[in-house]
Amino acid sequence: MNKMLLNFNTVITGKIIRTILILLTTILVGRFLGPEGKGVFMLITILPTLAVTFGNIGLNNSNTFWASKDQENIQKLFYSSFWLSLFLGLTFTSLFVFASKMNVKVLFGNLGAPYIIMLGIIIPFVLSESLFQGIIIGQKNFGLFNAGQISVYLIITIGIIIGKIFFTFTTYYLAVITTIALMCPAILYLIQLWKQFGIKWYFNWTLIKKCINFGFRSYLVTVMSYLIWRSDIYFVNIFLNMREVGLYSVAVNFADAIVLISNAIGLVLFPQIAANPEGGLKITLKITRLLFALLIVVSIAIFIFAKPFIILFFGLAFQPSILSVYILTIAAGIWSITSILSLYFASQGFPWKTVWIWFPGLIINVLINIIFLPKYGLIVAAISSLITYGITLILCVSYLRQFHQITLKDIIITNRDEIGCFVNTIKKTIINFHHG
């Protein structure tokens, strides 16, 4: 458990650095380009993940699963993932370029054709990153993972500063810099894996088929959970305008900052419980209890400081986003607990009942946004997220209660010993970092 917490601290350190860079970037973009420019930036950074979510066919999680179980699989996984991601990436690029010519509003809303083409350029890299990342996490190479994640917003931040000093800083310039930055993690991961294994034409269909068979249920969950998590910003883009996207993106940024905690935990937790299925539930519940305590502290801080922070750093133009920030803060806390429970389900191969847990929330989220968002504005997107995240968590707890006799108290109420162990591990990590 201590080793897992040390790995978590390594990952969370990278996540904190990345979050600081994201925060700096969003502040600079909001200040220099206003809500509309902030909206374009938000869409360019998240729309590629739409293609990745549908295009990786569950191989991200399955790569982590098989790499953590058997080191002999890693080389075969790398070769097969490389050629598959190249094929799928180019396919999605062609579709995005075609969509830019057809002006498909249902996918891209108010986003202009030049930006859609940039998205098409990004996709093969982001898809490769997704598959390579699964292997790297399976190897527990969290330092390389951190380097890839930090590089994106470090490049964007430096690019913004250079653009503001030496060039005319426009939304188009920002989009170009962002396109370049989003390619970097895939390149870093590829270089490392290339050094380990080289590159050759090899495609193990049997292994990929095994990964897909494992990953198919995970894939369904990933697609549904992604659509629940991100559909709000898509609907705002389709039914409202780019200014509203920019305003809502501030609330989404706060929610993302909260969820990064559970994401960091998940990166460390999943290889551990995948390799130890019998003790996986006990470990998972210990993590959710510690996470819930941490989320309470973070949420209180956001409720106290979010409003003055937004007005001070983003400006009065972003003040309409504050209520959405408060609502999404609660929603993101609920989502964080749900995502950790989902990792336990994944480690068990996602029994079909745990797959369909996500379906009601997806349908409700879509219906609420389609019916009420055009009339009542941004607040609907936030409320819809809160409702659907809550429903999904309730269904997860109901499953655990039915099949494992687990109650909500077992999931969220921690004790002094657990907190003390966590605090001592953090102190030890800080001391080692200081002396190392």
Highest mean pLDDT (candidates 37-51, 71-85, 281-295, 377-391): 377-391
Confidence of residue 326 (pLDDT cuts 50, 70, 90): very high
The pLDDT of residue 8 is 61
The pLDDT of residue 99 is 67
User: In this structure, what are the phi and psi dihedrals at residue 197, rounded to the nearest 5 degrees?
Assistant: -125, -15
Which of these, 93, 141, 136, 139, lies nearest to 117 by C-alpha position?
A: 93
Indicate whether 118 pLDDT > 60. yes
Report the alpha-carbon distance of residue 122 to residue 48 in Å, rounded.
7
pLDDT in tens, 208-254: 777 667 667 778 888 888 888 888 888 998 898 889 999 999 999 89
How would you label 117-149 residue by residue, b for 16+ Cβ within 10 Å and e otherwise? Answer: bbbbbbbbbbbbbbbbbbbbbbbbebebbbbbb
| Residue 435 maps to a domain | no
Angle at 406 between CA 402 and CA 411, to 5 degrees: 135
Confidence of residue 257 (pLDDT cuts 50, 70, 90): confident
For residue 177 the two structure tokens come to 């810099």
Are 178 and 45 in contact by the 8 Å Cβ rule? The answer is yes
Report the alpha-carbon distance of residue 335 to residue 382 in Å, rounded.
13
Look at 68-82, 129-143, 375-389 and tell me which has the smallest mean pLDDT. Answer: 68-82
| Residue 306 maps to a domain | yes
Letter for the amino acid at 393? L
Are 382 and 413 in contact by the 8 Å Cβ rule? The answer is no
Q: Find where tokens 């990929």 sit.
A: 208
Count of C-beta atoms within a 10 Å radius of residue 204: 15
| Residue 318 maps to a domain | yes
What radius of gyration, in Å, describes the C-alpha atoms of the chain?
21
Are 389 and 364 in contact by the 8 Å Cβ rule? The answer is no
70 vs 176, higher pLDDT: 176
The pLDDT of residue 113 is 76
Confidence of residue 106 (pLDDT cuts 50, 70, 90): low
In three-state secondary structure terms, 354 is: helix
| Residue 290 maps to a domain | yes
Which of these, 137, 129, 155, 121, lies nearest to 25 by C-alpha position?
A: 155
Indicate whether 321 pLDDT > 80. yes
- Neighbouring C-alpha atoms within 13 Å toward the C-beta of 371: 7
Count of C-beta atoms within a 10 Å radius of residue 319: 14
Work out how many domains the chain is built from and give that number: 1
Which of these, 88, 176, 160, lies nearest to 129 by C-alpha position?
A: 88
| Residue 436 maps to a domain | no
The pLDDT of residue 107 is 64
Look at 7-21, 240-254, 307-321, 401-415 and tell me which has the smallest mean pLDDT. Answer: 7-21
Report the alpha-carbon distance of residue 129 to residue 151 in Å, rounded.
13
Whole-number average pLDDT of the chain:
83
Are 56 and 130 in contact by the 8 Å Cβ rule? The answer is yes
32 vs 73, higher pLDDT: 32
Give 52's contacts (C-beta < 8 A, 6+ positions apart).
123, 126, 127, 130
Which of these, 352, 54, 376, lies nearest to 225 by C-alpha position?
A: 54
Mean pLDDT, rounded, for 307-311: 93
In three-state secondary structure terms, 139 is: coil
In three-state secondary structure terms, 278 is: coil
Which of these, 204, 313, 256, 306, lies nearest to 45 by C-alpha position?
A: 256
Confidence of residue 334 (pLDDT cuts 50, 70, 90): very high
The pLDDT of residue 23 is 86
Determine the straight-line distance between the first and last CA of the chain, rounded to whole angstroms: 22
- Domain span at 261: 2-430
| Residue 251 maps to a domain | yes
Give 379's contacts (C-beta < 8 A, 6+ positions apart).
323, 324, 327
Report the alpha-carbon distance of residue 329 to residue 357 in Å, rounded.
22
| Residue 294 maps to a domain | yes
Helices and strands of the chain, counted as H and E runs: 16, 0
**Percentage of the chain modeled with pLDDT above 90:** 30
Report the alpha-carbon distance of residue 170 to residue 46 in Å, rounded.
20
| Residue 120 maps to a domain | yes
For residue 395 the two structure tokens come to 């269904």
Q: Find where tokens 């962002």 sit.
A: 178
Across 76-146, where does the E strand assignment appear? none
Letter for the amino acid at 264? A
Indicate whether 433 pLDDT > 50. no
67 vs 304, higher pLDDT: 304
